[in-house]
Chain A
């Protein structure tokens, strides 16, 4: 099945710094999603990307759908303490009509030092 490689696994940054994380896949995806998970909660959707090359922003977050359809990155600008959490990328392969399952990366654990 598809494999998603997400990096880095963890990062410690100073408040105010920018953050970048990415995901690569061995196969093509039609949709890329980025989620954030806080302790004890389910993943919350941050950004959804539906077209190759698409660049989308949501406040301080920016994500891009790679041209090859095999990668995506997420940037967070001017980090703040509430950005702490685990960030997951997820890809939705095209496997036929009605096939919408997601494959998840292992996550990037972000720690922000005030």
Chain B
């Protein structure tokens, strides 16, 4: 299995632009999670899905952030408009019933 696949690995964008991060979970996993990692706040859960349905989005910082999971093999995290304080590493993770919790390699986002 290729593991959790995220793209792009790096993204540099100007403030105000729309950013879309992508994730392909491990085949057969039914839960998908988006995390953000910064030096100051560590790893924070943004949102997670069970069976493609958003369960808890209380970690999404603002309305500028949105996430979708149109099918079991794909999810996106969108930031519109982006701001410099959104600069961080964004991780996607997937699991099956809370087991086999696996992270992708992350997307390093820099907003200038």
Question: How many residues in B have their beta carbons less than 8 Å from beta carbons of A?
Answer: 23
Interface string of A50-76 (1 = CB under 8 A from B): 000000000000000000000000000
Q: Chain A interface (Cβ within 8 Å of chain B)?
A: 31, 33, 35, 40-45, 48, 88, 90, 92, 98-107
Is A100 touching B43 in the complex (CB atoms < 8 A)? no
Decide if B106 touches A99 in the complex (CB within 8 Å): no
**Interface hits, B78-112 → A, CB 8 Å:** 91, 93, 95, 97-99, 101-106, 108
- Classify the interface of chain B: helix, strand, loop or mixed: strand
Selected from B43, B55, B93, the residue in CB contact (under 8 A) with A99 is B55
Q: How far apart sit A41 and B3, CA to CA, in the bound complex (Å)?
A: 13
Inter-subunit contact B97/A100 (CB<8 Å): yes
Complex interface: chain B residues within 8 A of A106 (CB): 42
B residues in contact with A44, CB < 8 Å: 103
Q: A28 → chain B, closest Cβ, in Å?
A: 15
Establish whether residues B48 and A42, one from each chain, have CB atoms under 8 Å apart when the complex forms: no
Identify the closest chain A residue to B98 (Cβ).
Answer: A100
Asked if B91 and A102 sit within 8 Å, CB to CB, the answer is no
Does A101 contact B56, Cβ atoms closer than 8 Å?
yes
Interfacial chain B residues near A31, Cβ < 8 Å: 98
In the complex, the chain A residue whose C-beta lies closest to that of B103 is A42
Residue in B closest to A50 when the chains form the complex, CB atoms = B99
B103 near A92 (CB under 8 angstroms)?
no
- Indicate if the CB atoms of B106 and A101 lie closer than 8 Å: no
B99: A residues at CB distance < 8 A: 48
